Structure 1
Amino acid sequence: MSTISGEAVATSAGTAARDGTRPALPPAPVVRRPWVWLLLGAGLLPFANMQTLVPLAAWVAPVFLMRFTRSQRPSTGLFVVTVATSLALLVALRDEFFPVETGIEYYAFVALLGLGGAVPFAVDRLLAPRLTGLPRTLVFPAAVTTADFVGAMTSAYGTAGSTAYSQYAGLPLLQLVSVTGIWGLTFLISWLAPVVNEVWERGRDGSRHRAPTVVFVATLAAALLSGGAQLAFAAPAADTVRVAALAPDRRLSDQAYAAPPLTPGDPAQRAAVRDEYFRPVLDELFERSEREAEAGAEIIAWSEAAARTLEEDQAAVVARAADLAREHEVYLQVSMIVQLADAGDGADGAAVNENHAVLLDPSGAVVWDYLKARPTPGDGHEAGPGVVPTVDTPHGRLATIICQDDFFPGLVRQAGRAGVDILLVPSSDWRSISAWHAQQAPFRAVENGVALIRPTRQGISLATDAQGRLLGHKADYFTATEQTLVVSVPTQGSTTWYARSGDTVAFASALGLLVLTGAGWRSRRRQGEAAAAVATGSDQAERPAPLDRVAAG
């Protein structure tokens, strides 16, 4: 059936009004081969996020999926796209990508993610037919951005998997997040689908879709041009500082994490484990740290979980680090997993360890002892207070977070608001997520105008400047014997709009979606009232005249 005219819509709505029901949803446009478009969109989904990213796929996949959903009933489109998205996620999340349980729990987790990805298409199918012009194209991007934002606030993984992260490779476009955060980029990517479908549905009737297309193209061009200008004319030009980012020796680290379970209240067994499994990797890290200090590094940072240590030995490890920092007059951040003395096997959900990043200054004083604020589920430790520490140094203002903390822009924004220049992000990944997680790190640097140092165990160590340029990149953890990245980074950051305004764009998207919903509802009521009026007029015209009037005639 082709798109029906306004007269036909009124007749249909009028019939519904006479029956006492709500006006029907405007009919779907005719779409030839809708299942072909579904297969094309679903086929691109595994490349739109997670492990095998092709940045263009994130823009194109929703175009084809929307072409399908707009030709279906909302319930049908929601179900089919949920299934398609879930199947694509099974491919994207292969090789134990997320540390969740296998079996029914895993498939329920994937299905929930799939439903979250499908809901914006259902919202578009329900609202867009009741709107016209530019508002019609804004429903979907507002829904996607709102869904991403709600997911980030409720998920233990924060913004992991956000649409915006697919664009890690495009520096000009990446600069947009310094103004809007990832939400503006998510909105822009998602906006393409309804604009293209508007053109697709209207064909040569340019007057109906010209304005949304012009506005979208102008917005995209402005983002690219302003980002390019920022890269060209506002590149960091401050002095630099030599930084050494250390991950542990792979063999020794594997040995430390293969240690037998510790028994609470058994000092002899704990001491034996420490001497055989924990001490070798710790000695090697201190030896390399001293070597880098002698080579001229002024800031030395270990990866997350670089060393394992016993709670009863923690003070001695910090004292050893203080001696090295004082002797060589360097800033040294040591990161360690501290095994709690009275912890069992963690089967009851109680914490068994603590995840620390301890910074020592050149005098040997402890500047901060930061606990990871957003633990990965299953890590075995409780969350820290979530206060990002800072310190002023001759090399700029320093701050730190740990690994998955960088999935939470609101947490990291503390650094941007505090005027931090260099952010240390000790991390620890696993092979299947190593590239994907590293690709997200530059977003936090650009959002907050900070240089970022990311020493990483079992993953990619890197450093970027405040505009996301790679200053150092070491991706050979699983093959190389040397696990040190040495890089010079700018000592002065920049102030960003996002650090000041926060998630304004996300909140605006949610509010905009409510406004569009209200506009669509009012349009539905007006259609119903108009249809009822047409129906009433038709009934009056067809009703026989009263007998007395006929007689009088």
Structure 2
Amino acid sequence: MDDARRTTPTWARYALLVLGTAAMLFAVGGRWDIPVAAWIFPVLLLRFARTGRAWSAALWILLANIAAAMFWVYESAMGFNVVIIAGAVGLSALQTLPFLLDRLLVGRLRPWMSVLTFPAAVAGSEFLITLLSPFGTAYGSLTVTQYGDLPLLQVTSITGSYGVGFLIAWSASVIARFWERPSWRSARGGGVYVAVLTAVVLGGGARLAFSPGGGATVRIAGVSPGREVTEALHAALGRVPGGRREVAAAPPSALRPAMTAVEDDLLATTRREAEAGAKIVVWPEEGVKTLEPDEPAAITRARQEARRSGVYLEIGLGVYSTAAPAYGRDETVFIGPDGRVLWTYQKAHPIPGSETFTPGDGRVPVVDTPYGRIANVICYDADFPDLMRVRADIMLVPAHDWREYGRAHTEKAALRAIEGGYALVRQDSEGLSAVFDDQGRVLAATDYFTTDRQTMVAYVPTRGVTTVYDLVGDAFAWLCLLAVAALTVLGLVRPAKRR
């Protein structure tokens, strides 16, 4: 890389860094994402790294990644705390490794090997984030920036979410090589990439166009409590100083009327939607907030309503308890038309730095019904692909977000539908609710902040499909990690070439 350093002015190098960092701010999986920015920033930062010394370039790119992570926290209104900041720095360090490996190995490997080092490392780092961090794909996945590009996203049914990140990084590697050494050989490598990307997009388009349709559907209603009773409950909880422990210990008379009003609203809406033809009704995460002594009565009322209306009813419960250390539970209860409780599920991945619930065991419940195999996770659980690899036809995802993050979070969940080959129903009490089919198409959607009636209705296919990803799991990601290890060893034993 000596020639590149000599021929690239210092001002040009740092212009690459600034422009690359600016582009990366809009490719972090937040509400201000610009899809093309995810294809631009790796090119600029890769070029910056290759025209400077390895460790100083890595330090600057680490700072750029930290800036992008902090921007994501800001635009998502997460709130800064020690856990969030430490997590952002850790993730940024992992995201910097592909740039460092590329810089160290590009002069030691054959051209075709060096071109594949960066994309394999990017896909591998995204996979490691889901394995090693408590953030899943909430942050650090390039794939989520491409929401809406359904032909491209179909590749996730084979590779998982890591395939799109690989393709984006491969594009950057090909462009950076041609930028560095314009030649017929470099152009030929670009032609191979274009052929692969074209095959992926055409294959995804064919999957969308020729997928079997016209099968059986079931009417599903997602219902959230009305704005008036929701705001009254927020006000009642706000009058109790402290957290969940203090709420649990507060006089029941101060909270029970507002909690009961929300529950009554949900039960009445459930009855209305059942009369309109819904066979499955889904409440949002913590749709009913209840004191622990009142939980059995809340479940009993829901069972009675399911029996009366003849529907499958999933209720979300936020339970306030005086028992340390969690002081409560975040759970769902799925009830059959006969009033039987078919499962009780506790959230497996509480949000780090925000939720103190004791995690559930992570066993995703599945039950056979006349409307297919129905499964369930809660909100943030859907950011963990391994947890979501379930043989199901319909996945229910009750959720509770907020204005700045609800839409982005629901869009991320669409990837799980494509990977798993099932329809996904995400009922979000203070965000964007949506239903996706097994190819990521939106069947219905409603935004809490733009509509007065908090109800979403969709006719959902009752039969999913078996995907390659469902069968082989994270094989592609593991292959990328193995490739990175092999290329690193090979690069270490080969002498560096002056370029």
Sort the TM-score into its range (normalised by shorter chain).
Answer: over 0.9
Matched residue type, 2:146: Q
Find the aligned partners of 2:31 and 2:98 in 1 and give their Cα distance.
23
Q: Distance in 2 between matches of 1:487 and 1:105?
A: 38
Counterpart check, 1:251 vs 2:214: no
Structure 1 CA distance for aligned equivalents of residues 378 and 246 of structure 2: 30
Work out whether 1:124 is the aligned partner of 2:84. Answer: no
Equivalent residue number for residue 60 of structure 1 = 40
Distance 1:41 1:336, change over 3 A: same
Tell me the alpha carbon deviations over residues 339-358 of structure 1, each in whole angstroms, 9 at most, x when there is no partner.
12x336xxxxx111111111
Q: 1:96 to 1:460 in 2, by over 3 A?
A: closer
8 Å CA contact 1:52–1:92 kept in 2: the answer is no
Structure 1 residues 40 and 226: alpha-carbon distance in aligned structure 2, compared to 1, 3 A threshold: same
Equivalent residues in 2 for 1:399-418 (5 A)?
Answer: 399-413=375-389, 415=390, 418=391
Which residue in the other structure is 1:366 paired with?
341
**1:47 maps to which residue?**
26
**Letter aligned with residue 220 of structure 2:** V
Contact 1:133 1:211 in 2 (8 A): no
Q: Provide the secondary structure at the position in 2 that maps to 1:53.
A: coil
Which position in structure 2 is the counterpart of 1:515? 486
In structure 2, the residue matched to 1:550 is none
Deviation at 1:308, TM superposition (A): 0.3
CA RMSD for the aligned pairs? Answer: 2.2
Contact 2:101 2:118 survives alignment (8 Å):
yes
For the structure 1 residues 222 and 119, does the alpha-carbon distance in structure 2 shift closer, same or farther, using more than 3 Å as the test?
same
Asked whether 1:219 is paired with 2:191, we answer no
Name the CA distance, whole Å, in 1 between partners of 2:152 and 2:365: 30
Counterpart CA distance in 2 for 1:2 and 1:76 is 15
Correspondence for 1:335: 316
* Amino acid in structure 2 at the alignment position of 1:503: D
| Paired letter, 2:327 | V
- SS of the aligned residue for 1:322 comes to helix
Q: Is the 8 A contact 1:51 1:93 kept in 2?
A: no
The equivalent of 2:210 in structure 1 is 233
Q: Contact 2:31/2:404 (CA < 8 Å) preserved in 1?
A: yes
1:99-178 mapped onto 2 (5 Å cutoff): 99-101=79-81, 107-161=85-139, 162-178=141-157
Q: Is 2:334 the counterpart of 1:356?
A: no
Shift of 1:39: 1.9
In the alignment, which of 415, 418, 421 is matched to residue 393 of structure 2? 421
CA distance in 2, matches of 1:249, 1:229: 42
Change (3 A) 1:177 1:511: same
Which of 459, 463, 469 is matched with 1:492 structurally?
A: 463
Aligned to 2:404, what secondary structure does the other structure show?
A: helix
What are the superposed Cα offsets for residues 132-169 of structure 1, whole Å, 9 maximum, x if unpaired? 22111111111111211111112111121211111111
**Which range moves more in the overlay, 125-134 or 32-41?**
32-41
CA distance in 2, matches of 1:269, 1:468: 44
Does the 8 Å contact 1:236/1:466 carry over to 2?
no
1:190 equivalent in alignment to 2:169 = yes
Contact residue 402 and residue 425 of structure 1 kept, 8 A = yes
Instruction: Supply the distance in 2 between the matched residues of 1:451 and 1:235 (Cα, whole angstroms).
Output: 14
Q: State the aligned residue count.
A: 489
Query: d(CA) in 1 for partners of 2:116 and 2:132?
Result: 24
Most deviating of 459-468 and 215-224: 215-224
* Partners of 1:471 and 1:246 in 2: CA distance: 16
Q: Distance in 2 between matches of 1:318 and 1:160?
A: 31
CA contact (8 A) 1:336 1:355 kept: yes
For the residue of structure 2 that corresponds to 1:472, the secondary structure is: strand
Matched, 1:483 2:463: no
CA distance in 2, matches of 1:435, 1:107: 23
Q: CA deviation at 1:106?
A: 5.2
Q: Is the 8 A contact 1:435 1:460 kept in 2?
A: yes
Q: Distance in 1 between matches of 2:71 and 2:345?
A: 36
Q: Say whether the 8 Å CA contact 2:120–2:480 is kept in structure 1.
A: yes
Question: What CA deviation, in whole Å up to 9, does each residue of 1:346-379 have, x standing for no partner?
Answer: xxxx111111111111111011111111111222
1:411 counterpart SS class? coil
Aligned to 1:8: none
> Percent sequence identity over matched residues?
37
1:241-298 Cα distance to aligned partner (Å, 9 max, x none): 1110012223322432441268979999542134233111111111111111111111
Note if contact 1:262-1:270 (Cα within 8 Å) is conserved in structure 2.
Answer: no
Given candidates 190, 201, 217, the residue that maps to 2:180 is 201
Secondary structure of 2:36's partner?
helix
CA distance in structure 1 between the aligned counterparts of 2:83 and 2:253, rounded to whole angstroms: 38
Asked if the contact 2:245/2:327 (under 8 Å) is kept, the reply is: no
Aligned 8 A contact 2:244 2:327 in 1: no
In structure 2, distance between residues paired with 1:117 and 1:52: 20
* One-letter amino acid matched to 1:219: V
Q: Is the 8 A contact 2:32 2:75 kept in 1?
A: no
Partner of 1:356, secondary structure, is: strand
Query: 276, 285, 310: which one pairs with 2:266?
Result: 285
CA deviations on 1:448-469 (whole Å, 9 max, x unpaired) are 1101111001110000111000
Matched, 1:87 2:62: no
Structure 1 residues 498 and 29, CA, compared in 2 at 3 Å: closer, same or farther?
farther
Which residue of 276, 285, 292 corresponds with 1:311? 292
Matched residue of 2:219: which SS?
strand
Report the TM-score, using the length of structure 2 for normalisation: 0.93
Please report how far the alpha carbon of residue 93 of structure 1 lies from its aligned counterpart in structure 2 after TM superposition: 2.2
Task: Write the letter of the residue equivalent to 1:474.
Answer: T
Instruction: Report 1:427-466 matches (<5 A).
Output: 427-466=399-438
- Matched residue, 2:473: 502
Of structures 1 and 2, the larger Rg is shown by 1
Cα distance in 1 between the residues matched to 2:408 and 2:116 = 29
Q: Contact 1:449 / 1:494 at 8 angstroms: preserved in 2?
A: yes
Q: 1:61 to 1:266 in 2, by over 3 A?
A: closer
Shift of the 107–449 alpha-carbon distance from structure 1 to 2, 3 Å rule, reads closer
Superposition TM-score, scaled by structure 1 size: 0.84
Residues 391-419 of structure 1, C-alpha deviations (whole Å, 9 max, x = no match) = 11111111111000001100010x2xx2x
Change in CA separation of 1:523 and 1:28 when aligned onto 2, cut-off 3 Å: farther
Asked whether the equivalents of residues 128 and 136 of structure 1 are also in contact (C-alpha less than 8 Å), the reply is yes
Q: How many angstroms apart in 1 are the aligned matches of 2:340 and 2:255? A: 26
Further displaced range: 109-118 or 447-456:
109-118
Structure 2 gaps of 5+ residues are none
The CA distance in 1 between the partners of 2:244 and 2:75, in whole Å, is 32
